[in-house]
């Protein structure tokens, strides 16, 4: 019997899919580093690994400014902090969690022997007092169950300090919409590195392009800080995720209006250099890429915050991929917007002039 043809949907580029499948909680980015190494190293003139785990790919230009791309490869997770006498595991958070999310999930603990399945438990709703039902569980009200019966048995499998991530991998929600844990910020890291790979196929451009897969963003933009300090870029574009507000519980008066499929979001405000902002908009318009503009009144919660203040200052731009349900296992993005952001970054790099100044 012939197979029925399924509804047409965009699939993930393999590079992005592998990044999303890589389990890389903050401070333990090994698996994502390996994916970046495999896809990017051969396109680079120079490729470096540093003490914070950053991956730094350089493409030499013809004497123009140094342009740094930054996208973080760490993701939020848990870290095992205590094993009780019956073998239940307690944890701390790696990065910011909404505490209604962690319980009732399948997770993978990254152990010496590889990923181990666990379940996050808490007392069932039937056993909660009416007051407790209204309360958000505290971190210590939840635990991880790996199916053992003693501390000794648990300690034969996991060590204190082993990290964990939700088990949810990438799937297509519908059409070009993808759902996965950790689009924040595998989507951004992919955009930076895929744009780099495309520019690497051009004949030399004016700018020296340095694309950095940064680490430890989720606990304070730490990888980006040291990378920018060491690389001394003139100009930089950070790619991260932003909040799509086209869902039932986002007041546009408070959060602005950002459509999931409305194109990359270009940030504007004190963290953003006005020349870089103008060039990003001009590039989007030249390439007929739809875009949205977000006002950023403060240092942004992205790598751009650290990069801007490195050395004697860096001209920063920020491109965000609109995303629903940030920091949950069900983050949603439109893969078409991810591709638009790749072209926007590559286009920006190609347009940097040899004598470009970002002073204003
Ligand atoms: Zn995040």
- Ligand 1 centroid to Cα of residue 318, in Å, is 15
**Which residues have their alpha-adjacent CB atom under 5 A from ion ligand 1?**
184
Q: How far is the CA of 98 from the centre of ligand 1 (A)?
A: 12
CA 330 / ligand 1 centre spacing (Å): 13
Pairing of strands 171-174, 177-180: antiparallel
Last residue of a domain, one of 139, 166, 193: 166
**Would 7 be classed as within a structural domain?**
no
Residue 99 CA, ligand 1 centroid: distance in Å: 15
Report whether pLDDT(210) > 60: yes
What is the predicted pLDDT for the residue at 9?
A: 63
Lowest mean pLDDT among 40-44, 62-66, 134-138, 151-155: 134-138
Of the residues 141, 166, 191, the one at which a domain ends: 166
Average pLDDT over residues 173-201: 98
Residue 8: per-residue pLDDT: 57
| φ, ψ of residue 304 in degrees (nearest 5) | -60, -30
Task: Examine the pLDDT at 349 and tell me if it is beyond 90.
Answer: yes
Same domain, 24 and 121: no
Residues 343 and 314 grouped into a single domain: yes
Cα separation, 122 vs 102, whole angstroms: 10
Spatial separation of the C-alpha atoms in residues 147 and 194, rounded to whole Å = 41
Token pair 């952001």 in the structure block, residue: 341
Q: In this model, does residue 261 exceed pLDDT 90?
A: yes
The token pair that represents 357 in the structure block: 């100044």
pLDDT score, position 258 = 97
User: Considering the domain boundaries, does residue 323 fall inside one?
Assistant: yes
Q: How many CA atoms lie within 13 A of 275 on its CB side?
A: 13
Same domain, 216 and 306: yes
Question: Which pLDDT tens digit goes with each residue over 303-340?
Answer: 999 999 999 999 999 999 999 999 999 999 999 999 99
Question: Among residues 18, 75, 217, 339, which one is catalytic?
Answer: 217
Range of the domain at 232: 14-75+181-351
| CATH of residue 208 | 3.40.630.10
Answer whether residue 3 shows pLDDT above 90. no
Q: Are residues 318 and 282 in the same domain?
A: yes
Distances (CA, A) of 32 to 29, 262, 309, 360: 6, 28, 27, 37
Query: Does residue 3 sit within a domain?
Result: no
pLDDT computed for residue 5 by the predictor: 46
Task: Give the total number of structural domains in the chain.
Answer: 2
pLDDT given for residue 10 in this prediction: 74
Tell me: do 203 and 276 sit in the same domain. yes
Q: For residue 36, how far is its CA from the centre of ligand 1 (angstroms)?
A: 19
Regarding whether 230 and 99 lie in a shared domain, the answer is no
Q: Which residue among 126, 143, 166 closes a domain?
A: 166
pLDDT of residue 1: 54
**Rounded mean pLDDT, 253-268:** 97
Let me know if residue 192 belongs to a domain: yes
Helices in 287-334 by DSSP H: which ranges? 303-308
> pTM of the full predicted structure?
0.96
For residue 359, being part of any structural domain is answered with no
Examine residue 176 and state whether it is found in any structural domain, yes or no: no
The percentage of residues in the chain with a pLDDT greater than 90, rounded to a whole number, is 96
Q: Give the pLDDT score at 6.
A: 47
Q: Measured between alpha carbons, how far is 244 from 221 in angstroms, rounded to an integer?
A: 22
Q: 205 and 149 in one domain?
A: no
pLDDT tens-digit series, residues 319-328: 999 999 999 9
Q: Report if residue 60 sits inside a domain.
A: yes
Considering the chain, what is the average pLDDT of its residues?
96
Structure confidence at residue 16 (pLDDT) = 98
Active site residue 92: no
Q: What is the pLDDT of residue 84?
A: 98
* CATH, residue 86: 2.40.30.40
Same domain for 212 and 157, yes or no, is no
How many A from CA of 181 to the centre of ligand 1? 11
């Amino acid at each position: 019997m012939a197979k029925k043809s399924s509804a047409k949907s965009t699939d993930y580029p393999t590079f992005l899919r592998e990044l999303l499948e890589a389990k890389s909680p903050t401070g333990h980015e090994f698996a994502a580093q390996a994916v970046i190494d495999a896809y990017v190293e051969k396109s680079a003139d120079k490729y470096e690994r540093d003490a914070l785990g950053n991956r730094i790919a350089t493409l030499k230009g013809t004497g123009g400014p140094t342009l740094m791309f930054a996208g973080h490869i760490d993701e939020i997770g848990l870290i095992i902090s205590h094993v009780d006498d019956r073998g239940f595991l307690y944890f701390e958070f790696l990065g910011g969690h909404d505490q209604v999310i962690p319980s009732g999930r399948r997770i993978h603990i990254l152990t010496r022997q590889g990923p181990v399945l666990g379940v996050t438990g808490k007392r069932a709703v039937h056993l909660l007092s009416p007051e407790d039902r209204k309360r958000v569980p505290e971190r210590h009200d939840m635990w991880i169950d790996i199916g053992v019966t003693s501390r000794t048995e648990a300690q034969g499998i996991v060590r204190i300090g082993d990290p964990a991530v939700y088990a949810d991998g990438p799937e297509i929600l519908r059409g070009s919409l993808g759902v996965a844990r950790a689009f924040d910020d595998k989507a951004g890291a992919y955009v930076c590195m895929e744009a780099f790979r495309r520019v690497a196929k051009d004949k030399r451009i004016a700018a020296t392009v340095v694309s950095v897969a940064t680490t430890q963003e989720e606990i304070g933009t730490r990888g980006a800080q040291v990378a920018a300090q060491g690389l001394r870029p003139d100009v930089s574009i950070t790619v991260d995720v932003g909040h799509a507000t086209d869902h039932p519980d986002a007041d546009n008066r408070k959060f602005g209006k950002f459509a999931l499929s409305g194109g990359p979001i270009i940030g504007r405000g004190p963290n953003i250099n006005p020349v870089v902002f103008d060039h990003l908009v001009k590039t989007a318009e030249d390439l007929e890429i739809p875009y949205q503009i977000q006002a950023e009144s403060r240092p942004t919660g992205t790598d751009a915050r650290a990069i801007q203040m490195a050395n004697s200052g860096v001209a920063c731009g920020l491109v965000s991929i609109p995303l629903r349900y940030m920091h949950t296992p069900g983050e949603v993005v439109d893969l078409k917007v991810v591709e638009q952001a790749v072209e926007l970054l590559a286009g920006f790099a190609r347009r940097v002039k040899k004598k470009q100044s970002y002073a204003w």
